[in-house]
Structure 1
């Protein structure tokens, strides 16, 4: 049976002792996951940098950048796709983002990247959907004669309505190559682990394989992007197990207007998922007042379309506008809806 608590039911459930104990356990797992992730990332950096530190020269200096953003977003259908929930109501939200990222060309062949980021979305009316996400990542890559090999690690911790919601860890191994200075290709395999604070049935691990290609045009001022991923997710409750396909297509270009370089991005994405377990897909009431249910295997198709425009306002400021159209199609009634996100952000980098 498909049991999917709403944010309102979650608010009530947070009052009982069982939920309190789960939250404590989640925080302990959060601390342990962060410690293990830090150990893995630190070990990767030490191992990679120690192998080539002797090659480093004074010109290889770390580059650090701070990014800040503040904006507003209109959501035509406030939803939480992680729980297959949509309100069918619109709302405005304040958005914030703060990020710190660094890059170090430790040697001519070794590159290290790291980043910290925090984002928040705060609704005017549906504050039970307020979401904060803190994330960290680290990457090490080494240039060999014919290709680049690397590894990344990611950690994210999400809070919903100021309560622990989900943590995610992901490790990835990739290989990439630039061909004739016009085509860049990248292949990867990734392992992901998700843990929910109060929804043990949705805890899952995911294995993915993917590839991306970038074609540089117009002397590097524009590029086309195409990508494909396949993934398989196994959850605690088998009704959430699925095999998925992800397709991506995008175009980015620089457009000069009154001597100022604006950035235009267009993209589309397809997500298909076939679920393994039988669930209650729909419930109806007949003429006698009896509830009738439809059982079956869930199947989803998602279509995403996005356009954004970034206008520089100086050396460190820019204004970014974005429209995202999402069409979630599913034979599960609660996961079948449409959503349009329209946003405007003031961004700065130092």
Structure 2
């Protein structure tokens, strides 16, 4: 049995466990949540990172999204959630960078006092320029604990498989381990977050194998005491990757670092409608030409919650 078949079977077992939990707790009632997003954006650098394709041409476009969440179980000690997310990016001039994604997930969270034990399975299908491109399958257990009333620490591991439709040399197994530390304020509406992630990717092509480490910080703060007050969010993250083998077209081992920072302003317009203005800057440094660029991205998003 290869790793992809093993992960598929493990995912099936997890969904079966969640199905049993749903049957056992059906009396808790059904809970649905849904939202629709429409985003207009300008991007100065078009890129598909998973394929190492980029283009130094700016373009404007729109991004549409639909999110559906079903919570068949929500009690004081157990949460079960099944979700589906659809995304479609459309560019004005360069349709070869249009992405469509379908993501289904199931998660289970068990609360024992201050401890949170979680298990999540995800399956994602991605199309590029309306052609089949990439499938992702992942499983992630996690453990979290409230160190204080407003301080939460979470650790997780993740195993994943990615399978490309045509770029078979990029098919890979992924192992990750990470930790997140949250400090909440303003009644939980604001927070300061620090994250650390270690990752290992083993691809069919040895030149694409790498070890990576990344760290990030995020700060969200409401601009008022009212629950509908606008909020700002500032983010920054750094990522470093070391590749194992020589890349033939370069005649050298590939190295890469990426620094990204961003700012968001979210305004709640009505109970169902909110708006968000966002800016993101990316400085990606690599000795592999298509992975070496600077990017500016500005966006305006409207979200409608049902």
Distance 1:335 1:348 in 2: 35
Structure 1 residues 105 and 181, CA gap change in structure 2 (3 angstroms): farther
Aligned residues: 303
Deviation, structure 1 residue 33: 11
- Superposed CA deviations along residues 53-106 of structure 1, whole A, max 9, x for unmatched, are 3xx7x6x43321111011211010111111222210000111100110123444
Contact 1:95 1:121 in 2 (8 A): yes
Assess if the C-alpha contact under 8 Å between 1:44 and 1:140 holds in 2. Answer: no
Q: Which shows bigger deviation, 251-260 or 147-156?
A: 251-260
The 1:257–1:346 alpha-carbon spacing in structure 2 relative to 1, beyond 3 Å, is: farther
- Cα offset, 1:107, TM superposition: 3.7
User: Is 1:136–1:155's contact at 8 Å kept on the other side of the alignment?
Assistant: yes
Distance 1:105 1:330, change over 3 A: same
The list of structure 1 runs, each at least 4 consecutive aligned residues, that deviate by more than 6 angstroms after superposition, is 32-35
The residue that corresponds to 2:95 in the other structure is: 127
Structure with the larger strand share: 2
- Structure 1 residue 220 displacement after superposition: 2.7
The equivalent of 1:21 in structure 2 is none
Q: 2:280 aligns with which of 321, 324, 334?
A: 324
- Within the candidate set 62, 70, 78, 1:110 is matched to 78
Aligned residues of 2:59 and 2:93 also touching (Cα < 8 A):
yes
Match 1:221 to one of 189, 211, 231: 189
The answer for the alignment partner of 1:76 in structure 2 is: 44
How does the TM-score come out when normalised to structure 1?
Answer: 0.81
- Structure 1 residues 76-225: aligned runs within 5 Å: 76-145=44-113, 147-225=115-193
Aligned residues of 2:186 and 2:222 also touching (Cα < 8 A): no
User: How far does residue 255 in structure 1 lie from its aligned partner after superposition?
Assistant: 1.2
**How big is the shift at 1:227?**
0.6
Residue 48 of structure 1: CA displacement? 3.5
Superposed CA offset, 1:184-234 (max 9, x none): 111001001000110010000100111101001234332100010101000
CA distance in 2, matches of 1:172, 1:258: 36
TM-score by length of 2: 0.92
Distance 1:256 1:153, change over 3 A: same
> Considering only aligned residues, what root-mean-square deviation do their CA atoms show, in Å?
2.4
State whether residues 69 and 346 of structure 1, in contact with CA within 8 Å, keep that contact through their aligned partners in structure 2.
yes
Please tell me whether the aligned partners of residues 168 and 192 of structure 1 are also in contact (alpha carbons under 8 angstroms): yes
Q: In 2, distance between residues paired with 1:257 and 1:223?
A: 14
The answer to whether the aligner puts 1:273 opposite 2:229 as a matched pair is no
**Aligned with residue 212 of structure 2, among 244, 269, 277:** 244
5 Å matches for 1:18-97?
A: 39-49=12-22, 53=25, 60-97=28-65
SS of the residue corresponding to residue 173 of structure 1 reads strand
Q: Which has the larger radius of gyration?
A: 1
**Counterpart-to-counterpart distance in 2, 1:257 and 1:214:** 20
Unaligned 5+ segments in structure 1 are 1-29, 283-294
**Any unmatched runs of 5+ in structure 2?**
none
Q: Using the TM superposition, name which of 92-101 and 212-221 deviates more.
A: 212-221
Match of 1:7 in 2: none
Q: Answer with 66-75 or 104-113: which moved more.
A: 104-113
